Homo-oligomer: A and B are copies of this chain.
Amino acid sequence: VSEVAGIPLPRRPRARRGEGDRLRAEILAATERLLVETGDADRVSIRAVADAVGVTPPSIYLHFSDKSELLLVVCESRFAQFDRILLEAGGSAADPLVALRRKGRAYVQFGIENPEHYRLLFMVRNAGDRTFEEMPAAAAAFGHLVDDVSACMGAGAFSRADPQLVATGIWTGMHGLTSLLISAPAFPWPDLDTMVDHVIDVQVRGLAPPAS
């Protein structure tokens, strides 16, 4: 949609010398915006992004070698944002288990509020082919979860075990709920808060040390 009723939409003004990176930032912003607006990653095409920025498709290639690089960069920035959100959700809680519970709720909430971003991060084919080396922000986010799990073990809230294994298990647990809420909206879901609390409670009880 580069014109309406024959009247071309305003082209975005050309960047000045040395400010080529401005377009790069605008492309990234438009890509994220399109993901949210259309709610469909398949509709985020190079052409759609170019249109949203007010530029022709080839200009994208001045800043990204191809479509997959563009998506990779978006993916990394969303991981970083996701990580920040979880960090904030944990907040100032002194009890590591309280912090972890809050993060669990925030995890699900992020997925519900940003389903297309969540899909991009965890559900799309080939997204998971990238290793942690290629995705430092993702590695950092998972590292924080491992730290939280270790803290819970230190505080006696969880029985001692391999923190990596336990963290992975918690991740899969929260992901299962989040991803199904996104991809199976027609399922007869129980009340959302009840559901989230139930899933978190079961995990926490399952990881707690045996009552002595």
Contacts of A207 on B, CB cut-off 8 Å? 202, 205-206
One complex includes copies of this chain to the number of 2
Interface string of A192-212 (1 = CB under 8 A from B): 001100110111111100110
- Contact pick for A172, options B185, B199, B205, CB 8 Å: B199
CA distance A164 to B122 in the complex (A): 27
Does A19 lie at the interface of the complex (its beta carbon under 8 Å from any beta carbon of B)? no
Contact yes or no, A175 B169, CB < 8 A: no
Contacts of A124 on B, CB cut-off 8 Å? 183
By DSSP majority rule, is chain A's interface helix, strand, loop, or mixed? helix
Contact yes or no, A122 B206, CB < 8 A: no
Contacts of A190 on B, CB cut-off 8 Å? 162, 164-165, 168
Give A contacts to B, CB under 8 Å.
40, 42, 119, 122-125, 127-132, 162, 164-166, 168-169, 171-177, 179-180, 183-190, 194-195, 198-199, 201-207, 210-211
Contact yes or no, A122 B202, CB < 8 A: no
**Given A123-B183, A129-B185, A190-B162, residue A195 in contact with residue B176 (CB < 8 A):** no
**From residue A28, how far is it (CB to closest CB) to chain B in Å?**
23
**From residue A107, how far is it (CB to closest CB) to chain B in Å?**
11
* 28 A-B pairs (CB sep. < 8 Å): A122-B180, A122-B183, A122-B184, A127-B184, A128-B180, A128-B184, A128-B185, A131-B186, A162-B190, A164-B190, A166-B198, A168-B189, A168-B190, A168-B195, A169-B177, A172-B173, A172-B177, A173-B176, A175-B179, A175-B180, A176-B176, A176-B177, A202-B203, A202-B206, A202-B207, A203-B206, A206-B206, A211-B211
